[in-house]
Structure 1
Amino acid sequence: MRLLIGSDDSGCIKELVANRGTNTSEQSALQPLHLEAHLERGLNAKAHQMLQISDNECLLARMSGDIELVSWSREPRGGEEDKPVFEVSSFQVMATLGGLLDGEKMQELHKRSQRRAASADRFVALFALPGQPQRYFAATMSGQFHFLALADGDLKLQKTFSVRGPVEFAQLYDLEETEKLVFAYGGEDNLIKLVEVSRDLEQLEQIWEAKNVKNDRLDLKVPIWPAALRFLQPAVSPASEGLNYQFIAVTRHSHLHFYQTTHGRKPFRSVDLLPNREPTTSLEVVGDVTPLGNVKSTSFEGFSIITTDTKKSILQFEPSGHLLGKFGGSDIKGFPSYIHVQGKYLVEGGLDRYVRVFELKNRNMLLKVFAGGKVSSVLLLDVSDVELPLSKKEKNKRRHKRVLDEDQEREEDNELWAQLDGSSKRRKSKPRLDG
């Protein structure tokens, strides 16, 4: 496997090459073939978001407010006696676009925040715009929606819109082609909103806003803090005419909300995921999904979700709230701040400074490597394993087996010839009967 790891350790990215079964916490297990730091920028420029845009390019969104276009080339390594052959990468920043964060706005937003310490502005989303080659979108916690273009090897800022912050997530609807780009966003004390952006990037318009759920049993207002959202396909038999969007959202208060815009502005169903209201911070879907993780279904069934709490748990639920299982179990020792479903795998990293890869179908851990610093983001570039040369013990074992196989084959041949020879002699000695 080949991974790029965004690490808080000196604000670098690290290239990891390792096979399934690698575990740096066990001396007897396989160890990484390659782990090397690149593009160090310091702790204040750690990579919050990473996006692969081609076979040898990615975008890095850094805490410094820069988005970098990074290219890499590879050359072989190894090949000595009993050493595996694999490729390692050299990285180069090809273009940089800066000044995309707004620290002053975050100071204003902190005045109405429940957080004890002020949060620095950061990137909360970075993805490619479907159907628009070399066009990208980045969202910030302060409420900046940036639209970027890659042209002639350079990054250009096409347009920036300001929305209400703080923004914990920004999700694009990509289940079908729409006349305008449709985004959902929300955050602390910031109800979920749907906005449309014209394809020419001239206008952003809010088209829908959620309402909070009813007060709790003590008639107290339920805190507003949506943390992540995924769209579904439009309802087949909508309750009313008009705007037809469906989505699910998790909140920092461990609720899973179900929305249909034709049903109203409040969630039509709400599920408590965790009994003690531990904060849930992320949302990934396991099932038939789009490149941006939206659900290719009109039904709120037939898929599962993965979320994290702020302690150490990665939990998989049915939409009903039934717990299917946990990833990592007691192996994870700190907040799993980053998770991402990619194909058949779940990639995880966080405060305990390990990066892990799990198999979705059984939640088995395939890889665990100490990254040296808190893991902020991960790209899984390749899932194939490097062919390892045989050890002397394995070579001797195979040689011994080959000798045994040859002896057995020779013995079987001798037995077969003996049987054939015996049959021939019996036919010759058998008296002929004249009619």
Structure 2
Amino acid sequence: MKIAVACLDSGSVKEVTFTKDVDTSDPNSPQPSIETFVGIKGDPVLRMINTEYGIVLCRKRGAVVLVNDDFEVIRELANLDNVIGLELVKEKVVLVSAQGQGLVVDLHSGSRISEFRLRQDLTTFAMHPKDNTIFLSSGLQQLPNVFRLDLASGELEELWLAKNPKNNRFDLKEENLVTAAAFLPTDEQFVFVTVTKHGKLRVYDTRHGGRPIQQVEVSKCALKAVAAASTNSVIVADSQAKMGLWQISANGRLLGYYKGINGSTWTVQTRGRFVAAGGLDRYLRVYETSNRAPAGKIYVGEEISALVFLQDEDEKRRADEDELWYELEMASKVQKIHDEDTDNEEDEEVFVGFQD
């Protein structure tokens, strides 16, 4: 397994390659390979995303660049302060700043395709996993908003806007205070979750009005990150040392915690059956998502501001083999169709006219 982590202290990026169940705190465990790529101190990477063209990095001071496997800059994509949203749509990336400025940039050429404008003071921006024209945005004082974005023109079509949650048991207004959000990968209309600065997990279904269909206090502390684990469960991390798997049901049932975390978790990413997390305690931790079993614990020596799964050599080899088998299968099907057409032509009698 290979994961790139961005380091807050030095501004560098570290590429960590390891086998399942590695634990650097255990001297008897197989040790990972960690390669450090020098960055800019005071200008750490805050967001990363992996693409077929390379890795897109968003730095604190606004530089958005595409880099190769050695983290050498291929091209500059944009300069956008405080990027809170970074999404990949085929050969394009969609960038959104906390001030609501949005850009669509072509990865191949680095040219700007379109611009758009959202509300200000945003904290989160997310793309629907099955329809990459649908996005949501929200903020500490901005209610969640679902909209359709035309990437070519930058035109926005508002589809749904949330309403304030119902007053609490003291009949006081519930503050919005959204810190992160994620769509659930369902075939339903639009179902998504938000987490808040006061420890609330909210579930929205746009078919059922503008208020959350469920609100659960999952922590007494601020929630920092959320990621969809399945069509009915999410991973939520708070500002202390808890990261839990929550089932989206009538009561928001806790399925269990991912154990071993010793500080605030700032970044959570899922891939297949694994989830990776990092933050204040300077450990990259990997778990199996569903049963929450540890799958890797690597000390990287610095606070982790962002992380992204990369393909290791085995994964690349398997992908190449899958592509080869697919091409052979398609070639076989084409040849079979060609042979059937040839047989039909041979069996077909040539009409030479009516005989007397």
- TM-score, L = length of structure 2: 0.80
How far residue 383 of structure 1 moved from its aligned partner, in angstroms, is: 6.3
How far residue 148 of structure 1 moved from its aligned partner, in angstroms, is: 0.8
Q: Decide whether the 8 Å contact of 2:6 with 2:304 is kept in 1.
A: yes
Q: Decide whether the 8 Å contact of 1:229 with 1:250 is kept in 2.
A: no
- Aligned partner of 2:319 in structure 1 is none
How far residue 233 of structure 1 moved from its aligned partner, in angstroms, is: 4.3
Listed one character per residue, the Cα deviations across residues 389-415 of structure 1 (whole Å, up to 9, x for unaligned) are xxxxxxxxxxxxxxxxxxxxxxxxxxx
Higher-Rg structure is 1
CA–CA distance in structure 2, aligned partners of residues 176 and 3 of structure 1: 26
Counterpart residue type for residue 77 of structure 2: L
- Aligned partner of 1:278 in structure 2 is 221
CA–CA distance in structure 2, aligned partners of residues 202 and 142 of structure 1: 17
**Given the superposition, is the C-alpha separation of residues 385 and 99 from structure 1 closer, same or farther in structure 2, using an over 3 Å criterion?**
closer
- Aligned partner of 1:314 in structure 2 is 243
CA–CA distance in structure 2, aligned partners of residues 31 and 385 of structure 1: 18
Q: Decide whether the 8 Å contact of 1:18 with 1:385 is kept in 2.
A: no
Counterpart residue type for residue 106 of structure 2: A
How far residue 260 of structure 1 moved from its aligned partner, in angstroms, is: 3.0
1:123 to 60, 80, 83: 83
Q: Decide whether the 8 Å contact of 1:123 with 1:138 is kept in 2.
A: yes
- Aligned partner of 2:97 in structure 1 is 140
Counterpart residue type for residue 51 of structure 1: I
- Aligned partner of 2:202 in structure 1 is 257
**Given the superposition, is the C-alpha separation of residues 351 and 366 from structure 1 closer, same or farther in structure 2, using an over 3 Å criterion?**
same
**Structure having the larger proportion of residues in strand:** 2
How far residue 252 of structure 1 moved from its aligned partner, in angstroms, is: 2.6
CA–CA distance in structure 1, aligned partners of residues 20 and 274 of structure 2: 12
- Aligned partner of 1:207 in structure 2 is 159
Q: Decide whether the 8 Å contact of 1:278 with 1:310 is kept in 2.
A: yes
- Aligned partner of 2:266 in structure 1 is 337
1:347 to 239, 254, 276: 276
Q: Decide whether the 8 Å contact of 1:46 with 1:63 is kept in 2.
A: yes
CA–CA distance in structure 2, aligned partners of residues 67 and 39 of structure 1: 16
- Aligned partner of 2:127 in structure 1 is 172
| TM alignment of 1:38-187, pairs within 5 A | 38-43=37-42, 45-54=43-52, 57-72=54-69, 90-101=70-81, 122-129=82-89, 133-151=90-108, 154-176=109-131, 181-187=133-139
Counterpart residue type for residue 245 of structure 1: F
Q: Decide whether the 8 Å contact of 2:127 with 2:136 is kept in 1.
A: yes
How far residue 384 of structure 1 moved from its aligned partner, in angstroms, is: 7.6
Counterpart residue type for residue 257 of structure 2: K
Listed one character per residue, the Cα deviations across residues 216-245 of structure 1 (whole Å, up to 9, x for unaligned) are 12221111122313145465xxxxxxxx53
Q: Decide whether the 8 Å contact of 1:168 with 1:228 is kept in 2.
A: no
- Aligned partner of 1:230 in structure 2 is 183
How far residue 346 of structure 1 moved from its aligned partner, in angstroms, is: 0.8
Q: Which runs of 4+ in 1 moved over 4 A?
A: 231-235, 383-386
How far residue 215 of structure 1 moved from its aligned partner, in angstroms, is: 1.4
| TM alignment of 1:409-424, pairs within 5 A | none
CA–CA distance in structure 2, aligned partners of residues 2 and 149 of structure 1: 26
Unaligned runs of at least 5 residues, structure 2 = 316-356
Counterpart residue type for residue 47 of structure 2: Q
How far residue 212 of structure 1 moved from its aligned partner, in angstroms, is: 0.8
Listed one character per residue, the Cα deviations across residues 343-390 of structure 1 (whole Å, up to 9, x for unaligned) are 11111110111111112232222221111211111122246889xxxx
How far residue 199 of structure 1 moved from its aligned partner, in angstroms, is: 4.1
Q: Decide whether the 8 Å contact of 1:144 with 1:161 is kept in 2.
A: yes
- TM-score, L = length of structure 1: 0.67
**Given the superposition, is the C-alpha separation of residues 61 and 351 from structure 1 closer, same or farther in structure 2, using an over 3 Å criterion?**
same
Counterpart residue type for residue 2 of structure 2: R
- Aligned partner of 1:363 in structure 2 is 292
Q: Decide whether the 8 Å contact of 2:64 with 2:78 is kept in 1.
A: yes
Q: Decide whether the 8 Å contact of 2:262 with 2:281 is kept in 1.
A: yes
Unaligned runs of at least 5 residues, structure 1 = 73-89, 102-121, 236-243, 288-294, 296-302, 387-435
**Given the superposition, is the C-alpha separation of residues 342 and 219 from structure 1 closer, same or farther in structure 2, using an over 3 Å criterion?**
same
Give yes or no for the alignment of 1:219 onto 2:171.
yes
- Aligned partner of 2:28 in structure 1 is 28
CA–CA distance in structure 1, aligned partners of residues 99 and 85 of structure 2: 12
How far residue 11 of structure 1 moved from its aligned partner, in angstroms, is: 0.8
**Given the superposition, is the C-alpha separation of residues 147 and 215 from structure 1 closer, same or farther in structure 2, using an over 3 Å criterion?**
same
Matched residue SS, 1:6? strand
| TM alignment of 1:185-200, pairs within 5 A | 185-200=137-152
Same amino acid, percent of matched pairs: 26
2:190 to 240, 245, 248: 245
CA–CA distance in structure 2, aligned partners of residues 174 and 335 of structure 1: 27
Matched residue SS, 1:155? coil
Q: Decide whether the 8 Å contact of 1:312 with 1:333 is kept in 2.
A: yes
Corresponding pairs, count: 312
**Given the superposition, is the C-alpha separation of residues 322 and 157 from structure 1 closer, same or farther in structure 2, using an over 3 Å criterion?**
same
Counterpart residue type for residue 194 of structure 1: V
Root-mean-square deviation over aligned CA pairs: 2.3
CA–CA distance in structure 1, aligned partners of residues 102 and 86 of structure 2: 10
Q: Decide whether the 8 Å contact of 1:232 with 1:245 is kept in 2.
A: no
How far residue 308 of structure 1 moved from its aligned partner, in angstroms, is: 0.5
Matched residue SS, 1:94? strand
Matched residue SS, 1:188? coil
